[in-house]
């Protein structure tokens, strides 16, 4: 049993005590903890040669990239993980914000053949443990603009990965699927909590991430126990065909976005032995709420946020700045404080996002999530939308997420996004882009009829475009609203 509460030290301990235990699966090959440690040692040499200061680790997900991050942790170096497909100019901006002194590409350090080399006996000394030292520097999704740099301390990471180990029994003999790119905060559960606890991580090759049949085969052939992913993965798995049963899966966590009710209802057939969860969090705070869905076939809509994770506190603040005290129904912006959060963005002047307790009851820093949340009369919290999804059209307040939800309720709609564009006469005009199910003949007229009975006139899209192609997505699998907005502006 691993005794260390520190990620880097726990990994060292696992290499020493369980060297032949499987650590990673990549492109059909399994790598032991000793094999991964061989890559870590090669990466550690490159880290030690780099200039003093924060580093940037670029490139696609791979065992070499995982090893490079472990090497940075072992050496006590802070490191930025940018989105893998980021444009050069944007990367330069993130590197400057994070203060990185060197950019390291894992592909330049070792070849695939090094994965089979056993770990040498010698090892550079680990850095002294400092829970307040910055380690991971993650990035926000960039779905509405340039990603922001989110620094996390080693203590924050260790507290979160410790919770994952306890809550989902991650450890030796357990296999976790990693679908997200390395810059996405969900990797703290998929990869880093698993490698800290002695489990096995199945890395989804980015080249296979949209191939439904390949994803099904990967999960089935490796006996995956835990899956955490954005709804896009589950939509892909459901498209692989009827009758597929992934019986090894015990925990299915839905995170990052809202899943279509019709898709959620089908998940028990796909994962007959699993328990299902709605996991809410922000990159800035990490996960905050967990809700176990008792009956996915007939779930409450919208899904509740659930219970606070250990040590998490939350406030609801109304438009006038008044805190909505519990008990009591109402809608307000969610302020969250967690043991796993950042203290602020790097290189971005947004102090209003990190504020003192609005109730003045503690000395903790709260993050203004921008999410609007409704508390009902029994204290249950549900997500309403975002502050930046609230627009006025002809003097009426419209929530674009409500429009998207109605569009997604149509049985032939797979993806939908509603974008508010400025308009001199009405304030804003709504444009909606919808991806229809393959083989569907869904028309704009049919979709407008569907919406007419559920949306007020002000919320009806002025323009409705139907496509058979997947909507553009960010590296984390969220719909790229910024890209769609720019495209709609050009065509309007």
For position 456, what pLDDT does the model report?
Answer: 79
Query: Average of pLDDT values for 261-275?
Result: 94
Flag whether pLDDT at 237 surpasses 60. yes
Q: Any idea what the Cα angle at residue 336 is, between residues 328 and 305, rounded to 5°? A: 60
pLDDT, tens digit (0-9, with 9 covering 90-100), for 433-492: 999 999 999 999 999 999 987 887 888 999 999 999 999 987 667 788 888 888 888 776
Q: What pLDDT score was predicted for residue 145?
A: 56
Instruction: Give pLDDT, residue 34.
Output: 97
Beta-sheet pairing, 275-282 with 226-229: unpaired
Summarize pLDDT for 322-376 with one digit per residue, the tens.
998 877 789 999 999 999 999 999 987 677 899 999 999 999 999 999 888 999 8
Confidence of residue 67 (pLDDT cuts 50, 70, 90): very high
* Mean pLDDT within 176-187: 94
Write down all domains in the chain, each with its CATH number in brackets.
Answer: 7-292 (3.40.50.12780), 310-340+347-386 (2.30.38.10), 394-491 (3.30.300.30)
pLDDT of residue 12: 95
Does position 119 have pLDDT exceeding 60, yes or no?
no
The pLDDT tens digits for 286-317 are: 999 999 999 988 888 889 999 999 999 999 99
Q: Say what the pTM is.
A: 0.83
How confident is the prediction for the chain on average, in pLDDT? 89
The predicted model gives 57-61 an average pLDDT of 93
């Amino acid at each position: 049993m691993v005794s260390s509460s520190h990620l880097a030290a726990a990994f060292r301990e696992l290499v020493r005590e369980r060297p032949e235990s499987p650590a990673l699966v990549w492109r059909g090959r399994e790598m032991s903890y000793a094999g991964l440690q061989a890559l870590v040692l090669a990466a550690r040499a490159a880290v030690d040669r780099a200039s003093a200061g924060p580093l940037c680790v670029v490139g696609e997900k791979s065992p070499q990239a995982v090893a490079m991050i472990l090497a940075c942790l072992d050496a006590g170096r802070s490191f930025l993980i940018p989105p893998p497909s980021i444009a050069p100019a944007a990367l330069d901006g993130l590197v400057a914000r994070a203060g990185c002194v060197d950019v390291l590409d894992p592909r330049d350090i070792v070849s695939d053949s090094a994965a089979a080399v056993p770990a040498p006996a010698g090892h550079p000394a680990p850095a002294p443990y400092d829970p307040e030292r910055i380690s991971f520097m993650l990035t926000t999704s960039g779905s509405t603009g340039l990603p922001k740099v989110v620094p996390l301390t080693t203590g924050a990471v260790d507290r979160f990965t410790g919770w994952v180990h306890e809550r989902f029994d991650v450890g030796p003999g357990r296999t976790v699927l990693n679908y997200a790119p390395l810059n996405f905060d969900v990797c703290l559960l998929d990869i880093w909590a698993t490698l800290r606890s002695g489990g096995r991580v199945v890395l989804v090759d980015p080249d296979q991430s949209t191939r439904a049949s390949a994803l099904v085969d990967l999960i089935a052939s490796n006996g995956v126990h835990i899956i955490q992913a954005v709804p896009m993965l589950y939509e892909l798995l459901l498209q692989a065909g009827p009758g597929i049963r992934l019986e090894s899966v015990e925990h299915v966590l839905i995170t990052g976005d809202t899943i279509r009710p019709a898709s959620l209802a089908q998940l028990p057939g796909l994962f007959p032995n699993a328990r299902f969860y709605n996991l809410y969090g922000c990159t800035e705070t990490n996960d905050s709420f967990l809700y176990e869905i008792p009956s996915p076939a007939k779930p409450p809509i919208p899904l509740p946020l659930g219970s606070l994770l250990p040590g998490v506190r939350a406030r609801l603040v109304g438009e006038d700045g008044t805190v909505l005290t519990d008990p009591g129904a109402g809608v307000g912006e969610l302020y969250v404080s967690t043991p796993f959060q950042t203290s602020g963005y790097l290189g971005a002047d947004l102090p209003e996002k990190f504020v003192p307790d609005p109730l003045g009851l503690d000395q903790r820093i709260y993050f203004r999530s921008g999410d609007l949340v409704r508390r009902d009369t029994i204290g249950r919290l549900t997500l309403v939308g975002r502050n930046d999804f609230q627009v006025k059209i002809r003097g009426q307040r419209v929530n674009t997420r409500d429009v998207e939800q109605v569009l997604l309720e149509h049985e032939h709609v797979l993806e939908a996004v509603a974008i508010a564009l400025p308009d001199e006469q009405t304030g804003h005009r709504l444009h909606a882009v919808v991806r229809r199910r393959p083989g569907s003949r869904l028309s704009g007229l049919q979709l407008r009829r569907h919406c007419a009975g559920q949306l007020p006139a002000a919320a009806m899209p002025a323009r409705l475009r139907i496509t058979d192609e997947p909507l553009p997505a960010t590296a984390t699998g969220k719909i790229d609203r910024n890209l769609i907005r720019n495209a709609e502006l050009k065509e309007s």
